[in-house]
Amino acid sequence: MAVGIFDSGLGGLTVLNAAQSRLPDVDFLYYADSARAPYGVRDAEDIYQLTKKAVAEMWSKGCDLVILACNTASAAALRRMQEEGLPEGKRVLGVFVPLIEALTERQWGDNSPPREVEVKHVALFATPATVSSRAFQRELAFRAIGVDVEAQACGGVVDAIEDGDLILAEALVRSHVDALKRKMPEPQAAILGCTHYPLMEQDFQAALGEGVKVFSQGALVADSLADYLERHPQMLGSGTGGYFTTGDPAKVSNRATQFLRREINFEAA
């Protein structure tokens, strides 16, 4: 039985790693659309169609539940997929809500009206497509009022990480943080709104300063998934785990092994 985790590339491995640690008895099927990564520079319709196609392939492999570990896909495709209707017994979940619930200190599943929260100034670092979608701000408005969100589109960071050029990625992180702080000099919290960015979390923290609390998604999504599966055990599905990519399996396997520092072997999707 396997739960699906989808990402446009390798960033979702940060969510997969946390989920495997949190749920060691659950098999996971990871699907990376590496041939078309990054999604963050694509338009919303393109992202929707690519995400829908990938999720359908994961359903065909026996995953009844798919987590969109790609923030860009969560922002541009999730709501539309849910509104247009999913096949019976299939579910797709995103990664924004667990993050927002942690930021606003609301319990999982708390559907009470939005209220004032302690954090008033939030920096959001995300891909250009996620920033333009304003999906994070929309979901936040369901849960909190009076929060000022300043978003910074972090062009180039995903490409640098996917290429294994962490020196360039670090330089880009510093540049994007500097640009954000010119607009919001004193953020209280920062959201790493792309699953690639936790790989650079220390660099974000260093550039932001110790007084800024940095939220990333791996452990938060893993905890929410554990809670969901406890309430919906039937969503474990019938498939088996594995790693699949639309890109070059050997190249993607090599990069994934570097990221997680353990051997990962991808197959052709």
**Integer Cα distance of 245 and 35 in angstroms:** 8
Exposure string (b/e) for 230-239, b if CB count within 10 Å is 16 or more? eeeeebbbeb
108 pLDDT more than 70: no
One-letter amino acid at 169 equals: A
In this structure, are residues 247 and 32 in contact, taking their beta carbons and an 8 Å threshold? yes
Q: What is the DSSP string of 199-226?
A: GGHHHHHHHH-TTSEEE-SHHHHHHHHH
Of the residues 18, 135, 194, 219, only one is catalytic, namely 194
Of the residues 3, 70, 73, 158, only one is catalytic, namely 70
Catalytic annotation on 63? no
pLDDT, one tens digit per residue, over 184-242 is: 999 999 999 999 999 899 999 999 999 999 998 899 999 999 999 999 999 987 778 99
109 pLDDT more than 70: no
Catalytic annotation on 194? yes
pLDDT, one tens digit per residue, over 129-145 is: 999 999 999 989 999 99
Whole-model pTM: value is 0.90
